[in-house]
Structures are given as C-alpha cells and as structure tokens.
Amino acid sequence: MTVSHTLPEAPAKPADAVLRPHAEDAFAAELAALAAQDDRPRPERWRLSPWAVSLYLLGGTLPDGTVISPKYVGPRRIVEVAVTTLATDRALLLLGVPGTAKTWVSEHLAAAVSGDSTLLVQGTAGTPEEAIRYGWNYAQLLAHGPSRAALVPSPVMRAMSEGLTARVEELTRIPADVQDSLITTLSEKTLPIPELGEEVQAVRGFNLIATANDRDRGVNELSSALRRRFNTVVLPLPATPEAEVDIVSRRVDQLGRSLGLPVEADGMSEIRRVVTVFRELRGGSTADGRTKLKSPSGTLSTAEAISVVTNGLALATHFGDGVLRPADVAAGVLGAVVRDPAADRVVWQEYVETVVRERDGWKDFYRACREVSA
Amino acid sequence: MTTSPAVAERAAAERAATAAAVRGPLLLGVRHHGPGSARGVRAALDAAAPGVVLIEGPPEADALVALAGHESMRPPVALLAHAVDDPGQAAFWPLAAFSPEWVAIRWALGHGVPVRFIDLPAAHSLAMAAQEKAADAGEEEAGPADEAAGGEGTHEAPDVERTDGPAAEGLRVDPIAVLAEAAGYDDPERWWEDAVEHRGRAEDPLAPFAEVAEAMTALRERYGDGGHRRDLVREAHMRLRLRAASKEFGEFADGGGVAVVCGAWHVPALASKAAVAADKALLKGVPKVKAELTWVPWTHRRLARTSGYGAGIDSPGWYGHLFEAPDRPVERWLTKVAGLLRQEDRTVSSAHVIEAVRLAEALAVMRGRPLAGLTETVDAARAVMCEGSDVPLALITDRLIVGDALGEVPDDAPAVPLQRDLTRRQRALRLKPEALERDLDLDLRKENDAARSTLLHRLALLGIGWGEPTAGRANTGTFRESWRLCWEPELRVRVAEAGIWGTTVLAAATARAESAAVSATALVEVTGLAEKCLLAALPDALPVVMRALADRAALDADVGHLAQALPALARYLRYGDVRGTDTAALGEVARALAERVCVGLPPACAGLDADGAEAMRGHVDAVHTAIGLLPPAGDGEDSGDGQDAGGGEGGLPGRWAAVLTKLAGRESVPGVIRGRAARLLLDGGRLADGEAARLMGLALSPGTPPADAAAWIGGFVGGTAGGGMLLVHDEHLLALVDTWLTGIPAAAFPDVLPLLRRTFSAYEPGVRRTLGEVVRRGPGGGARPAVESTVPGFAPGIDAKRADAVVPLLTLLLGRETPAPPSSDSLTGETS
C-alpha cells in the first residue's frame, strides 16, 4: 500500500476519460452549491454541516433552486444516524447484505464530510497490518535508518494526521488480529510508532467508516472490544416491491446493453415475478401477508435477482425465442434459493407447492419450477 | 433556609395574582394521555387552586370518583359504561397515571375539592352510538379495532383531539395534524410532543393552555365542528354543566373558581357564549338507555394503538416514564433500556449508555428538536446498543415503550358487565352457581344442553374454572359431555379479571382466544386452541386462530409436530361436531398442513436412529389415517399436476401416495418406515403384486443388514392390531412372505430366523396358532382344500349372492356415495 494519492486540484487525466470518477469529482457542483449556501455550524474540518451532508445524500432542493440529486434511496433515519455518528467521535459501521449500497453510502459520506473519498483500505483475507497502521520504504530504511521519511503511512494514518474521513471496506474479511489494530486508533485516537518512539495523534475531524457484510459466511466476527467503538447502521433491502422491480429492471437494462442483450417489454412480468419470489422468501411471508413462509439460507439480495434475470435473458436470447419466459428464470431462481441442498430444498418445495401452485397466472412458472427441481 | 418564608410569600402572592387574572372558568385544554399536559394541569391547578374541577367524562361517574382515591386503585384503569340490558353495548374511558384527567382527579381528591364529570351522560352517548351503528350497519363494517377491544358494541372513547380511529374518519379533521402541518411537521404526534409535551416547566403555568386555546380557536373558526357531529351535542351539555358549576362555586376572585380539564378541541366551544335555550334545544330528544358505570383495570398494552383499541397512544411506557422521571428523562430512559438488555444477557456497558445518550442528543440537534424524543432514543439504542439489529429493539418496544403495566381496581367497585352477562346466561340456561360439587351430564343434541356446554367451554377459555370436563359414563359418543361443576367464591374475582377481555362472555372468550393464538409459540398449543374454539363455539375467533395455526405450521421445521397436529383437525373435519360449526377455514388449514407434511416427510425420514424411526413410523400412520379422513377440497384439484404427482390421481391422496412410494423405495429411509410405507401402499391397492414382492425381496435380500431387514418386516406386517390377522386372512400376502422365506439361501437362513421370530412372536397366541395352521396347510394353491374342509355349520364355499346382499347396508354405514367395490380382495379371490 503505497501513496499514489492524486490531489483533487491537479487531476492527471481529464475527468471524463476516467471510467468511474470519485464521488467528490462526479458531484463537485452539488457539493460546491451546498457549501456556498450552508450557514449551519460545521464540526471542525468538515466541508459541510451535518444537516447539509444528509441533504446531499437524500437529495432535495436548495433555497436558490439548485437541485441535489438523491444518492441514497431509503429511510431518512438511516442517513441521519450515520451522519450524526460521524459528527460525534464514534466510528460508523455500515452493515447489510451484499447489494444494499454500503460502499456507495460510505463513499458519498466521506466525499461530503471531508471532500475526499480516496482514503480507502480494502479489506481482504490478506490485508496486512501495514495497510491499517504504516509500512516502511525499505530502500530508505536501509540507507538512512528508521525515520519519518522512511515511513509509508496508511490511509488511516493520513486521515488521522489531516483530520479526514478514512474508509475500511469489508471489515469482517480482514483477519481478526489485523482488525484489532484499529482499537487503539478508535479509542485513544492515537497511532504509536514504537520504532521511532513517536506517535501520530488524530486531529479533530478524523473519523472512520467501515462496511461489513452481515450474511456472508466465513467472515471474521468483530471482537466485542472493536465492536464497541462503532455505532452500527444496518442498510435495509428495498422497502417496496415497486422500488425493487425498478432497481432490478434498470440494472438489467444497463447490464443487458453492455452484453448486447435486448430487453423485451414482456420481460417485465418475469422480472416482477422474480422480485416477488425473492421478496417473499426473504421476508418469510407472501406479498399479501396471508401466509408465512420459511426463509432459505441464501441472502436473495436485489443483486442476485439482477443476475438471475440477466442470466435468463441470455438464455432466452441465445437458446430461446428472445422473449424472457418462466422456464428461463426458473433454474436461476432455484439456484439462488437452494444454497444448502438439504434444508433449502424443503423450503423451496414448500414454497412451490403451497404458494406458486395456488397463484393465478403462475401455472407456467409452477410447471417450470417442478421441471427444474425434479 | 432563611429565604424560604420570602419565597413562600412570593409564591402565594403570585398565586393570588394568577388566580385573580383568570376571569370566568379556567379552561385547561389537554391531549388525552399526554404526560406534558398532565404535568401542566397539575401546575395550573396548584397555581389557580380552583373550588371545583370539571372533567370531560360521563357524569354518571361522579359517584365513582371517590374510588379513584382508594389505596388499592392503581392506574391504568378505565371508566366503563355499559347499557344495563345489553352489556355488549359499552364504552371505555381509559386513564393512565400520566393522563391529565387522572392527575386532575387525584389533585382534587387530595385537596378536598369536588370533581364533576361534564360530558354527555353515558346513557345518551351509548344510545347514540347504538343508533349510529344501526344506521351505518349497511354501509360500513365495524372496524376491526372494535372487535379486538372485546366488545360487540364497544366504540372508541370520546377521544376527540385524536381521531385516528377506523377509516371512516377521512372526513373529519384532525386538529393536531392541521397545526403540525402548519408548523412544517409531517408527524402530528411529534409536533405535539415538541410543542407541548417536551417544553420545560414554563414560567407561567397557565400560559401554555392559553396558547393551545388560541390555536384551537383559530382551528374551530376555520373548520367548525370538523366533522365530529356528535361533538356539538356534547359541548352543549358541557356548557350547561359548566354554567351550573360556575353559579355554584363562583369566581376565582371570590376564592372559588371552576377549572375544566377537557380535550383541547373543546376549549373554544366552552369559552363561547351560547344561549342556554339553544343548548337545551340541542339536547332535546337525545336517545337514552339505562347505563351503568364502573371502574375496570386496564393495561398499557390496551392503551397502545397496536393492540387495536383506539385509546390512541403508541408508547404508553415512554409517556409514563416522561411523567415519572424527575429529571434527565433521556439518560434515565436509556439506562432502563440498558438494564433490560442486560437482563436478556446482552453485554451493555455504561459506556454504551453514555454513547447512546450522546447520539440521541446529537440527533435531536440535527433534527431541530428541543429535546431527544422517542424516535431519537430508539435510533440511538439501535445503533449503539443493539448493533443495528431490530431483534432486541422489538423487545425494548414490547417491554418498555409499550410496557406491561396492569391496573388494579378496589373490590368495592361495582360489578363488571361480564358478571352481569354471566348471571343472565346462568339464569337462562338454568345452571345455578353452587358451591357444592356436582356432576352434570350433557346431551349435546338438546339445545339447552349444547348451550350449557358452550358456556362452560367459554368460561374455561377465560380461566374461570367453574366446570371441569370429566370422563363421563358415555365418553365414547361425540354427543355426550360430562362436567363436574363447583362454584367457588374466588371465581368472582376471576370474572372481574376476565372483564378486561370484554363485556359479554362471548366477546371476552373470543378476545381471549385471539390473544392466546397470537402469543402461542408451539404448534400443538394452537391446535388445542382451535379445538377449544370449536367447542366453545367462537366463530369470530376461528379465523385468527386458523391464521396463527397456518403461520406456526409454515415456520415449524419439525415434521413430527405437523404430523401431530394433523389428526385432530382431520377428525374434527370428518366427523364434524354436533354443534354444526362451519369448518371451511379449518379444512383449508388442514389441507395446507397435509401439503407441508408431504413436502417435508421424505427428507425428515433420512438418517434416523431406531427410536426416531419408530416415532416417525407412528407419524406416518397418523398422517395416513388423517389424509384418508380429509374431505376433498371443494374446488377440485387442478389436473395439471396430478400426472406429475404420480398414481394418475390428483389431489392430496395422490400426492400422499407419491410420498409413500418415495419412502418405500428410498435406501436412506429406515427399514421400519419403508416397510410401513410399502404396506400402506399395498393396502391402498397402489402396488402391483410383483412390485410388493420386489420391494420385499429388495428389503430382505442378503445384502441388507439383518437389523434393517427385520425392521422392514416389522413395519410391513407388525405393530398395528391387524398386522398378524392380515397375514392370516390375506393368503396372497402370506404367499409373498412364504416365497421369500423359501427363496432364502440355506446359509443365510440362520441369520434371518431370530429377526422373524422377534416380529411374529409379538402376535397374539390365537393369531400365531392360526398362522401356523395356514402355513402347515401350505399357502397359495394348497389353501383351497383347507378352506373347503370347513368349520361345522358353515357352507363349504362362499355364497356370493348372500354376500352381495350386505353391500348396500355396508355402503350406507361407510358413507360412500357410489356402491363400494366388493368388500375385500380375499373374498373376490375366493369367489372368482
């Protein structure tokens, strides 16, 4: 982890050449407009007041008519708690199943609060302690011995010394001993460097946003000492079927176009069906709220629904008549639901026999399901 | 200390000034159940020291006010008014410790000041409600809230500022919502909290009430009666009572003074100067019934909107806390939350509380609220103490935000309507409550006896153990019931306690059953409850119970539980009950249950140990019987899946047969279950001869472990009563066993012998001997001469003609629509 940090005011490449610009660059105009009109008190080294940060995330209109686009569509409460947490000296932990915009929210929070979303540590099973504390430039170290010049600071260390927001992605994938090196940073707000007999003390404005996946298997559970340093916010799955169908069809459309797949208007009914199946199984009851259901062990996130539909679309295009049909999605749905061959299969069959079979207009889907699960 | 006389003097002077400043009656507009209003009322009463306190409530309760000061009276309680000749027609005025009305009553009792209730008498309001209900009956169904509250005629207490009742309220104005909207709040509840409840102790205790009155006046000018038609009559009555009181007690300046505690909405109406004649005219011709009032204990849960009763607050626990906490309400509240979470073994340290308080306060600042409210503390508790999870939060909501405070009422309060209803029913059914124990035999075919049984069952559901079912002399018939009756004095207390569920025995039992169904955790509990509901004839409770049953069944992963639940339902459906309950809903649930068993059984049968297998075999038998008993679904099963289900027959029996086939053929299923499944299929005529032989050969082949083979035989011919007899009578079957036996290689025979002995030695001696004789005679072809050699007195063969003559009667007895096929396989085998 070396420092190849590009300063925002000196971009090496024009912004439109980049495949995906940082949040603070993509929405620079909105941030500037907010900063200009924000007259509320700002915590030290914050670019905006907490109120303006939540407006930036949730969207709205400024007094002068500037429209702020919504970055996060979801409960207002969640954004408010997240922003308020950053304003206190507690770290923020965003939890949620894959595909609930954790990283997206964390990036935009950092961009709005500190104007810099790039102080990022990506958590992996192989993330070393150096990525969270500091490393050494060994050429320097050998030539001149230990000194600040030979030290390579981690993003967290830079955020501490400059009073910015650091981000840790996938915190629970980081090995437990490496995770725990965050404890001192978060509780004492200091990072000792024993080799030099020095320490780096966090200046005001420093805080940390971590994201973690709460349904992934094989994660390294946070120690309770570390957990206690965080305020936890769980990002929920889309609240209404309409919102979810909308997200899925939009993403499928984007993906389909890049894969050269056409999207039929008829496909909407299958998308609606997949979303309904996913929501019902995930939520443990039918959409009309009349029948309870067992939930399978898989997450059945919106992201998975997207991949099921995309997959079905590919099947329909290359092997079918180009129209998305129940048979094209049934196998995908089965694969997403039955993760554990024993327990999930019962859940699925019960669902097929008690819900799908009875539902009007689902007969073809029922047949397709029986065919693939036989 | 030296300053105290001076302070007291100043306070007295101020009080005199405040009191003198009030001209006419002191109108204290409140929100019912608002802790801030309650505190304000106390401060205002302390400051003004009126000579009489008037309260919005039925004047019949004037006589009951003294009971509020009784030492064993503990809120939450409710004033209950009911029509004397129809206890189902009732209304409640719930009061919690933090209700302004309650505070005013206690203040008055403490200061020796009289209390008067000034609302329309319950005699009128009950009659008007009944009239309205009759008028609305055609166009609008009674809100579900009313039924849940447990009274057929229960209507919402006159809770006027808050009209969040059933849907018909669309036309009416919610004054608080209008004001909140004007103030830029989306949630009226929150606006009132910020504007009134959360404000600190004001300098002038009367100022907030003046402001509220002003706001309400503006509203009333704009909206008039706001769609609350009955309010005009009520307000006319309040004005009349107020005038009478003013005349009697005089002005504040004269040392008397009248204080009125009423819903803020009514303040402008009471302040207006309407002519006495006009008011009296309004009250003319108002219908009337004979009404009685009493105090009944109430609970926080029933105050909460979530329990369906429209008293109108989400969070009685939180309000109670706000009212009781002397200072630092947020800190104290979050400490309580932490205490609760610790009790539930979650690690919550003081540091957590500190952080939660900080977060709650920061959130309040960011949301621009004067003080952290319930939403902020909930958000903070979730983020800091619950790790973002809603599960512990649900606990907090249940135990703290709603809370389980239960009120108490002194014994000398008038009898509850439930008691009256019970007495009436006892008289009508000629069933006297006697302390002496006696037995009662009921013939349910008689109308009076059936009604008696229903009453006893309902009382049992309510925990009033007057009768205890006993195994009477004729307990085999479904139309007989035996009870042991014994009325003990403490049952009266039970009746009073049960009064919380409703005003009639029927309504109370229904409400109680519904509540029990919702809170039940085990499937068996709910099945039992369903049975009780049928016995007690509670058709209204049945849908809720069935729903709970379906839910529990859906979530129960143990097929054993499902299998246990099914037979009782099937029996009930098949034989019905003499009371003639409609069982359509039950049938639906039972079929769904059977469906789930069909799906879950095959995986559940794999990998069982010997005991588990034996238990499962019992379940398989029970389910088989139950499915045989289930009447077919009304709407003919769709044909599309029948073919897939196997057996060429649609519907549940077809699916069940497919499951049995799967069980019989699957290696991983224990032998005893495989054998049992094969046997059930064979009995049902779903196995071809060759198939049964193949299955048996497979199960008993040398490759199979001996224990498993024995278990298979045990499952196939053992266990149930007819197991051995079947081998005796069904030579066909015996031939199968015989063929197999003789086909065993000599070397393997000694291994099999002890296993077979184990199964066959369990038969009764008679069966064993007959079996031996049949075997000695030789099976199959050898059987014929043996049969022809006959017992004395019987013809050598079977007289087919005479045998056929029995068939019509048998058909009738078995309740089959079409003539049954000639009765049993062995007979046809012989005659053909």
Q: Nearest by CB to A51, which of B366, B638, B640?
A: B366
Expressed in percent and rounded to 5, the helix, strand and coil fractions of chain A are 50, 10, 40
Would A162 be classed as within a structural domain? yes
Query: What pLDDT does residue B549 have?
Result: 82
At B758-768, the pLDDT tens digits run 777 777 777 88
CA distance B782 to B581: 55
- At A323, the pLDDT band (50, 70, 90 cuts) reads confident
Query: What pLDDT does residue A114 have?
Result: 93
pLDDT at B578 > cutoff 70: no
User: Do A186 and A255 fall within a single domain?
Assistant: no
User: Do A298 and A257 fall within a single domain?
Assistant: yes
- Mean pLDDT calculated for residue range B354-360: 92
Query: What pLDDT does residue A154 have?
Result: 94
Are the beta carbons of B389 and A233 separated by less than 8 Å?
no
pLDDT at A8 > cutoff 50: no
- Distance of CA A48 to CAs A55, A155, B179, B352, B761, Å? 10, 22, 32, 28, 89
Residues of A in contact with B556 (CB under 8 A): none
Q: Nearest by CB to A231, which of B351, B384, B598?
A: B384
Q: Give the chain B residue nearest A53 (alpha carbons).
A: B366
Which has the higher per-residue pLDDT, B243 or B648?
B243
Are the beta carbons of B599 and A346 separated by less than 8 Å?
yes
Q: Give the chain A residue nearest B601 (alpha carbons).
A: A346
User: Do A98 and A165 fall within a single domain?
Assistant: yes
Query: How distant is the Cα of B388 from the closest Cα of chain A, in angstroms?
Result: 5
Residues of B in contact with A370 (CB under 8 A): 641, 644
Is residue A85 less than 8 Å (CB to CB) from chain B? yes
Are the C-beta atoms of residues A203 and A46 closer than 8 Å to each other? no
Would B558 be classed as within a structural domain? no
Selection from B741, B743, B746, B784 nearest residue B759 by Cα = B741
- At B640, the pLDDT band (50, 70, 90 cuts) reads very low
Which has the higher per-residue pLDDT, B586 or A85?
A85
| Domain closes at, from A214, A234, A254 | A234
Are the beta carbons of B388 and A95 separated by less than 8 Å?
yes
Of the ranges B302-316, B330-344, B422-436, the best mean pLDDT one: B330-344
pLDDT at B307 > cutoff 50: no
- What ipTM was reported for this prediction? 0.76
- Residue count of chain B, please give it: 832
User: Do B806 and B767 fall within a single domain?
Assistant: no
Residues of A in contact with B641 (CB under 8 A): 357, 366, 370
User: Do B752 and B805 fall within a single domain?
Assistant: no
CA distance B206 to B599: 69
- Mean pLDDT calculated for residue range B85-95: 77
User: Do A167 and A258 fall within a single domain?
Assistant: no
Choose the weakest-confidence range: A138-152, A176-190, B287-301, B378-392. B287-301
CA distance A40 to B394: 35
pLDDT at B335 > cutoff 70: yes
User: Do B798 and B763 fall within a single domain?
Assistant: no
User: Do A29 and A168 fall within a single domain?
Assistant: yes
User: Do A219 and A276 fall within a single domain?
Assistant: no
User: Do B95 and B83 fall within a single domain?
Assistant: yes
pLDDT at B279 > cutoff 70: yes
Would B770 be classed as within a structural domain? yes
- Distance of CA A33 to CAs A38, A62, A257, A336, Å? 8, 8, 34, 44
Q: What mean pLDDT, rounded, does chain B reach?
A: 75
User: Do B700 and B824 fall within a single domain?
Assistant: no
Query: What pLDDT does residue B524 have?
Result: 77
User: Do B126 and B224 fall within a single domain?
Assistant: yes
Query: What pLDDT does residue B170 have?
Result: 37
Would A4 be classed as within a structural domain? no
- Mean pLDDT calculated for residue range B219-245: 81
Choose the weakest-confidence range: A268-272, A277-281, B15-19, B24-28. B15-19
Of all residues in chain A, what percent carry a pLDDT higher than 90? 32
Query: How distant is the Cα of A354 from the closest Cα of chain B, in angstroms?
Result: 7
User: Do A246 and A222 fall within a single domain?
Assistant: no
CA distance B77 to B65: 12
Query: What pLDDT does residue B473 have?
Result: 56
Suggest the residue from A78, A84, A86, A228 to mutate for an interface test with chain B (most B CBs closer than 10 A): A84
Query: What pLDDT does residue B15 have?
Result: 54
Neighbours of B535 (CB within 10 A): 21
Are the beta carbons of B592 and A88 separated by less than 8 Å?
no
pLDDT at B828 > cutoff 80: no
Query: How distant is the Cα of B813 from the closest Cα of chain A, in angstroms?
Result: 35
pLDDT at B246 > cutoff 80: yes
Q: Give the chain A residue nearest B379 (alpha carbons).
A: A81
Would A311 be classed as within a structural domain? yes
User: Do B797 and B777 fall within a single domain?
Assistant: no
Query: What pLDDT does residue A152 have?
Result: 94
User: Do A228 and A88 fall within a single domain?
Assistant: yes
Choose the weakest-confidence range: A96-105, A208-217, B618-627, B713-722. B713-722
Would B653 be classed as within a structural domain? no
Query: What pLDDT does residue B336 have?
Result: 92
User: Do B47 and B142 fall within a single domain?
Assistant: yes
Of all residues in chain B, what percent carry a pLDDT higher than 90? 5
Selection from B603, B545, B101, B392 nearest residue A348 by Cα = B603
Choose the weakest-confidence range: A292-296, B189-193, B447-451, B594-598. B189-193
Are the beta carbons of B599 and A294 separated by less than 8 Å?
no
User: Do A121 and A264 fall within a single domain?
Assistant: no
The three-state secondary structure class of B14 is helix
Q: Which tokens is B800 given?
A: 């087919």
Which has the higher per-residue pLDDT, B343 or B789?
B343
User: Do B32 and B129 fall within a single domain?
Assistant: yes
Would B492 be classed as within a structural domain? no
Strand boundaries in B147-290, DSSP class E: 258-263
User: Do B832 and B742 fall within a single domain?
Assistant: no
Selection from B647, B649, B648, B652 nearest residue B633 by Cα = B652
At A166-176, the pLDDT tens digits run 999 999 889 98
Handedness of CA B417, B420, B424, B425 (dihedral sign): positive
CA distance B271 to B29: 11
pLDDT at B645 > cutoff 50: no
- Mean pLDDT calculated for residue range B666-681: 84
Structural domain containing residue A268: 241-373
Would B711 be classed as within a structural domain? yes
| Domain closes at, from A213, A234, A255 | A234
Q: Give the chain B residue nearest A293 (alpha carbons).
A: B554
| Domain closes at, from B253, B268, B301 | B301
- At B18, the pLDDT band (50, 70, 90 cuts) reads low
User: Do B16 and B70 fall within a single domain?
Assistant: yes
Burial B229-240 (b: 16+ CB within 10 A, else e): ebbebbbbbbbb
Are the C-beta atoms of residues A189 and A202 closer than 8 Å to each other? yes
CB pairs under 8 A between A and B: 96
pLDDT at B74 > cutoff 70: yes
pLDDT at A33 > cutoff 60: yes
pLDDT at B803 > cutoff 50: yes
Those of residues 198-257 in A touching chain B at CB distance below 8 A are: 224, 227-228, 231-234
Are the beta carbons of B366 and A370 separated by less than 8 Å?
no
Are the beta carbons of A77 and B641 separated by less than 8 Å?
no
Chain B residues at the A interface, defined by Cβ less than 8 Å, are 347, 349, 351-352, 355, 358-359, 362-363, 366-367, 375, 379-380, 382-384, 386-390, 547, 550-551, 554-555, 557, 592, 595-596, 598-600, 603, 638, 640-641, 644
Are the beta carbons of A228 and B352 separated by less than 8 Å?
yes
pLDDT at B9 > cutoff 80: no
User: Do B270 and B338 fall within a single domain?
Assistant: no
Would B262 be classed as within a structural domain? yes
Are the C-beta atoms of residues B55 and B115 closer than 8 Å to each other? yes
Selection from B23, B21, B41, B22 nearest residue B31 by Cα = B41
Query: What pLDDT does residue B13 have?
Result: 55
Choose the weakest-confidence range: A219-228, A281-290, B234-243. A281-290
Strands of A120-122's sheet in order across = A120-122, A165-169, A207-213, A91-96, A230-234
Is residue A370 less than 8 Å (CB to CB) from chain B? yes
| Domain closes at, from A216, A234, A252 | A234
H, E, C per residue of B454-488 = HHHHHHHHCCCCCEEEECCCCCCCCCEEEEEECCC
User: Do A104 and A196 fall within a single domain?
Assistant: yes
Query: What pLDDT does residue B759 have?
Result: 74
pLDDT at B632 > cutoff 60: yes
Query: What pLDDT does residue B789 have?
Result: 45
- At B412, the pLDDT band (50, 70, 90 cuts) reads confident
Query: What pLDDT does residue A143 have?
Result: 92
Choose the weakest-confidence range: A119-128, B270-279, B303-312, B813-822. B303-312
Selection from B697, B779, B699 nearest residue B743 by Cα = B697
Q: Give the CATH number of the domain where residue A25 resides.
A: 3.40.50.300
- At A3, the pLDDT band (50, 70, 90 cuts) reads very low
Choose the weakest-confidence range: A1-10, A318-327, B427-436. A1-10
User: Do A189 and A260 fall within a single domain?
Assistant: no
- Distance of CA B104 to CAs A229, B17, B50, B68, B259, Å? 47, 22, 11, 11, 10
Pairing of strands A67-68, A91-96: unpaired
Are the beta carbons of B641 and A84 separated by less than 8 Å?
no
Quick one: DSSP state of residue A213?
E
Instruction: Indicate the number of domains in chain B.
Output: 4
Would B94 be classed as within a structural domain? yes
Which has the higher per-residue pLDDT, A262 or A282?
A282
Residue type, A38: D
User: Do A37 and A126 fall within a single domain?
Assistant: yes
What is the DSSP secondary-structure string of A18-59? SSS--HHHHTHHHHHHHHHH--S---TT-SS-HHHHHHHHH-
Instruction: Indicate the number of domains in chain A.
Output: 2
Structural domain containing residue B832: 792-832
Residues of A in contact with B555 (CB under 8 A): 284, 292, 294
Query: What pLDDT does residue B643 have?
Result: 38
Query: What pLDDT does residue A56 have?
Result: 93
